[in-house]
Structure 1
Amino acid sequence: MDEFEVVVAAGSLRSARGQAVRFPHRWTPDGVTVEADFTGAHLLHLAAAGCVLNDVYREAAALNIPVDGVRVVAAGGFDTATWTSSGIGYRVELASPASAADRTALLARVDEVAEIPKAIRAGAPVRRVAE
């Protein structure tokens, strides 16, 4: 993938790396792990990756697909002169005893409904609000 890579993981695919930060998570009893630098570029990618991970659990529950673990890696480039994004790519590793067809359908559904990727794809105005 490109620069500014982030990794979020839960369940059986949680990171064991010492630098991974751990957060509580409503879908998993042991929470999620996050591997990301704290820059604007990384945080943008983290928002997309975290949303995808959450939505894998949410949509799997709705479809009655068991999920043992999820790892999402998101990355993308930026023109560092203008900080214009070249886009975000993400990949999902899914640990599940479900059939390959069910896993494929689940990930397609998540790509369709994930709110943060959907908002980024559509573009959204961002403005400072005066106090």
Structure 2
Amino acid sequence: MGEFEVVVGAGSLRSAGDGAVTLPHRWTADGVSVRTEFTGAHLLHLSAAGCVLNDLYREAVALGIELAGVRVTASGGFDPADWSSTGIRYAVELDSAAPAAALTRLLQQVDEVAEIPRTLRAGAPVHRVDLGG
């Protein structure tokens, strides 16, 4: 099966045109751009990428790092035999005047604390529930 890629961007690294949509974002005035397709695989990867982007802004504030822009690309595949994920990879681009060592520390911290990637790494039970009687 092919790769299911998503791209989220904010600030100076927002995407424009080519199917990008903009969503409101608490950390940036102009919102976040999202480029993806609407499939379950893409939405799974979008949750990881969006969480990383949010946490980069949150943790940057805590570390005193100013971010002019962030772009996170997440992708992965699915095994066609049982449609299980083959894993999610993500890459980060940062636009910042902060020293490289500070940005490396930021990336490491976010990789440790980002809630969606942490949940996916640990595994999370998912159960269907019946509505009503």
TM-score strictly above 0.5: yes
Residue aligned with 1:27, SS = coil
AA at the equivalent of 2:82: T
Deviations 1:55-74 (A, max 9, x none): 00000001110000000000
State the match for 1:57 in structure 2.
57
Report the alpha carbon displacement of residue 88 of structure 1 after superposing the two structures with TM: 0.2
Residue aligned with 2:31, SS = strand
Distance 1:80 1:40 in 2: 14
State the match for 1:100 in structure 2.
100
Distance 1:99 1:125 in 2: 40
Runs of 5+ in structure 2 lacking a partner? none
State the match for 1:25 in structure 2.
25
User: Is residue 15 of structure 2 the alignment partner of residue 15 of structure 1?
Assistant: yes
Report the alpha carbon displacement of residue 82 of structure 1 after superposing the two structures with TM: 1.2
Deviations 1:96-127 (A, max 9, x none): 00000000000000000000000000000001
Distance 1:30 1:80 in 2: 39
Report the alpha carbon displacement of residue 18 of structure 1 after superposing the two structures with TM: 3.3
| Root-mean-square deviation (Å) | 0.9
Distance 2:38 2:16 in 1: 19
Distance 1:9 1:15 in 2: 6
AA at the equivalent of 2:29: P
AA at the equivalent of 1:8: V
Runs of 5+ in structure 1 lacking a partner? none
Q: Which moved more, 1:38-47 or 1:10-19?
A: 10-19
Say how many residue pairs are matched. 130
When normalised by structure 2's length, the TM-score is 0.96
State the match for 2:37 in structure 1.
37
Report the alpha carbon displacement of residue 80 of structure 1 after superposing the two structures with TM: 2.3
Distance 1:81 1:61 in 2: 44
Runs (4+) off by over 4 Å: none
Distance 1:120 1:17 in 2: 31
Distance 2:100 2:17 in 1: 29
When normalised by structure 1's length, the TM-score is 0.97
The sequence identity of aligned pairs, in percent, is: 68
Over alpha carbons, which structure has the higher Rg? Answer: 2
